[in-house]
Structure 1
Amino acid sequence: MKASAFVLLLISGLPAAAIAQPNTAQGELLRRGELTGSRPSAKAQMQAASRPANHASDPAQQHLLQTDINLAQARAEELPNLYERFMATTRDERRTWTAPQWDAAGEVLARLNQRYEQVRTDLPLDDRLRVRSLQGEFHTLRGARNVKEKLE
């Protein structure tokens, strides 16, 4: 009797859980380098709307991802590897980056996040966790750089 009540309680919560999930339109609104799933600001919405969709020829993106790929067409299973490449380059070069280079990296991450938001439900949970971890690592490294600059 208690098990059936528990199952009924779980089932009744499904519609609310579906509503709580962010929709793919939010992927269009991600701020530069923002973690996927957070609420974008009005300024970020305007910036995302004005950003061109095809970035396959962007030199910064080519360098950071170590490939020339149109992220708008990247398959879900390619994204974890693209995030890994992005972070490998970031880890290797971050100590010499200037503010504009950090900004360019943030924009590339925003494009990765935009595509991730569109296809994330096609990825297994462990890949989604890995992507979130890499997103967080970038923000940690960037934040540490900002603190270091303020201390100097």
Structure 2
Amino acid sequence: MKSAFILFLAGLPFAGHAQATSQAELLRRGELTGSRQSTSARSQARQTATRATNNSSDPVQQHLLQTDVNLAQASADQLPNLYERFIATTRDERRAWTYAQWDAAGQVLARLNQRYEQVRTTLPLEERIRIRSFQGEFHTLRGARQVKEKLD
């Protein structure tokens, strides 16, 4: 327990740096929902996500969401369950993921977030808060992995 706390304290300087550098990257890729992007970054993220969203047979997306769904047509009622499946798979498998797998998961999250932005006003506040917590948890897990890599 004491060693875990010491490890946590040792990683704090890295965590601040990882967060500062990754937020700009998250904005660029469209993974940080609710934040402002430049017009060119928004259009690029929208084009990328639209191409990927139309492909409901993406094997990574199928695996992470545990279903084959076209996110461009997913209803608002489906999204909380899709986010929950996504984060459950992430929790279960994150320790064995490579950077490429984290990036692929980030792309799936960006597609989920794009659909969420389109339908979020139809969701009750409780569901929106739940989805935001899932988004935050993913980025926390990803950041923790980056800090762990630097410490090792």
Q: TM-score, normalised by structure 1?
A: 0.75
CA 1:94–1:55: 2 relative to 1, 3 Å: same
Distance 1:128 1:58, change over 3 A: same
Aligned 8 A contact 1:32 1:109 in 2: no
* Residues 103-140 of structure 1: CA deviation (Å, up to 9, x unaligned): 00000000000000000000000000000000000000
Deviations 1:46-75 (A, max 9, x none): 532442140301110000000000000000
Instruction: Count matched residues.
Output: 123
Of the two, which has the highest radius of gyration?
1
Give the deviation of 1:150 after TM superposition.
1.2
Aligned residue for 2:29, secondary structure, equals coil
Question: Which residue number corresponds to residue 120 of structure 1?
Answer: 120
Q: Does the CA-based 8 Å contact 1:33-1:108 persist in structure 2?
A: no
- 5+ long unaligned stretches in structure 1: 1-29
Separation in 1, partners of 2:34, 2:96: 30
1:83 corresponds to 2:83: yes
Q: Which amino acid aligns with 1:59?
A: P
Question: Which runs of 5 or more residues in structure 2 are unaligned?
Answer: 1-26
Match of 1:56 in 2: 56
Counterpart of 1:145 in structure 2 is 145
The answer to whether residue 35 in structure 2 is matched with residue 38 in structure 1 is: yes
Matches within 5 A, 1:17-28: none
Percent identity of paired positions between Structure 1 and Structure 2: 76
Three-state SS of the structure 2 residue aligned to 1:36 is coil
RMSD: 1.6
Structure 2 length normalisation: TM-score? 0.75
- C-alpha displacement at 1:41, in angstroms? 4.2
